[in-house]
Structure formats: C-alpha cells, structure tokens
Amino acid sequence: MASEWNQIIGTVKAIGVWDILDIVIVAVLIYQVIKLIRETRAMQLAKGLILLLLLYFVAYNLNMKTVRFIMQNVVATGVLALVIVFQPELRRMLEHVAQTKLNKFNIFQSSPEKDSELMAVWSSSISTIAHACEHLSKTKTGALIVFERETKLGEIIKTGTVVDAQPSDELIGNLFFVNSPLHDGAMIIRDGRICASGCFLPLSQNYTISKEMGTRHRAALGMSENSDAVVVVVSEETGTISIAQGGIIERNFTIPQLEKRLYHEILRKDEGEQQKEVGVKALLRKVKK
C-alpha cells in the first residue's frame, strides 16, 4: 500500500507546468467539440459515426474480413468526409475562436475618439432602422437587413449594389418597396451605414424550421449560420419582425424589443458591461496613483 502511494506521489510531483497546460488544452478542445455536436445537426451524425465504430470493433474481434476491409476504408476517408459534412459548423467554430480577447488589445483597435464616433453612428442608425422596420411591418413590406459585426461580408456585398448611405426611413422604404429592383435582396449594414442592397444570402440547409417561414427567413438563417451577423427579417405575408443569429431565428419582436436587442448585440454596452468598464477604469486610476 505504501509503495502504491509513493508511486502516486511521485507521479504527481513529476507533473510540470507544460503537462498541466497540455491537459487544459485537450480538455478545452474536447469541450468545444462536444458543444459543437450538441448545438447542431452534428448530433445525429455523431450517433451514426458511433454505430460505425461499434460495427468496426465487432468485425475486428470476430475476424469478419469483408466487413473489416470496408470499415477500414470508410475510416480512412472519414476525416475528409467529416470536414465536408460539418463545413458550416466548423467555420462557425473557427470564427468563434477568432473572436477572442485578442481583438481588445490596442494593436487591433482604433483610437478611442474613432470608437466613440462609430458608437454614435451605430446608435443613430439602430434607432432609424428600428423605426423603419415599424413602417415596413405595418405595410407588410418584406425586408431583409444584415448587420455586419466581426465577420466581414465582402463576398456577400459583391452580389448586390453598393449604396454607401446613411440610413433613413425614406431610403429604407424605397429600397424595399415592392417595385424596387433591389427589394428582393438583403441590405447590408456596415459601420452604421447602408453599405449595399439587393445582396444574395446563402440559404439555410436546416429543414426543421417551420414551413410558415419563406425564402427570406431561410436566407436570414443561412447568413446567421455562416457568420456572426445579426439579421432582421420583416415578413411580407404577416408583417412579423424576426431576428436570426447564431443559427437560431426568433420571431414576433415589437419595435422596442427590436431596438433594445440591436443595441445590445451591436454596441454590446448593456448596463452590466458599463459598470464593469467603469470599475476597471477606476481601478487603473488607483494603480497609476
């Protein structure tokens, strides 16, 4: 018994900083993979993969040569197949990894003055767009508005017509007017301005969404699956306002709810975050003194 304890103690003492870091990295990777599987359609595919592995294990132990040969070839090409099948999910995961605290360092930031100006532009634009959506909803005018965030949408912008204008009720109404040549496409909002209109969005391959949702909603969902954008949809049939984000679509927003949600998602300055920022600044001032 004493020798076993000595072995355990010796093993623990032999663990270094790099060993701990190694374990932490592997644990985080496993957690992210499990999270990816649980939150997407990958869950069903993962079950099928587990069944294939069990079949291979049985065939290997029972010396079933034909089945084992087939399974060996399936496993050999399985990695490439998984990359192809899970391409949208893997892309979202890599984009999420890229959106780390690194972008908060000064080398990735503009000056505080420019940040303040940009926030003021965004604040005004969000209010204008929310009120424009109210008019579109009342008149049952279909609309699709994409708010660009960290993921740049240059490829999507190229599919439409560059506008580069400050949002206004009249301009948004004219762009989505039924007889307008750009009314069927999406409007892209970049840095608080209307960057382009009439843009084509990738359609979602999620066939479990409600049949009540048309092409606009499927396009909004597809855009949210392939980027971190916030997408606002106004239904042409019912006038219902919806938001698609992170592969999830939420419906029946009122104008105050829409404005509040956009403020939170675009500016990311809710009261809790503001209080934290004030506390950090106060602490830094004390340290400097």
Residue 90 to residues 62, 75, 149, 260, Cα–Cα distance (Å)? 36, 20, 19, 30
Q: What's at 62, amino acid-wise? A: L
pTM beyond 0.75, yes or no: no
Q: What's at 92, amino acid-wise? A: R
Q: Are strands 248-250 and 161-165 parallel, antiparallel or unpaired?
A: unpaired
Residues, the chain, total?
Answer: 289
The reported pLDDT for the residue numbered 114 is 58
Distance of alpha carbon 185 from alpha carbon 179, whole angstroms: 13
The reported pLDDT for the residue numbered 181 is 84
List average pLDDT for each run of 10 residues in the chain, which is 289 residues long: 70 76 86 66 66 82 82 73 68 59 45 70 92 93 92 88 92 89 90 93 80 85 89 92 91 93 80 46 45
Measured on CA atoms in the order 270, 272, 275, 279, is the torsion positive or negative?
Answer: negative
Q: What share of the chain is helix, strand, coil (3-state, %, to 5)?
A: 60, 10, 25
The reported pLDDT for the residue numbered 289 is 45
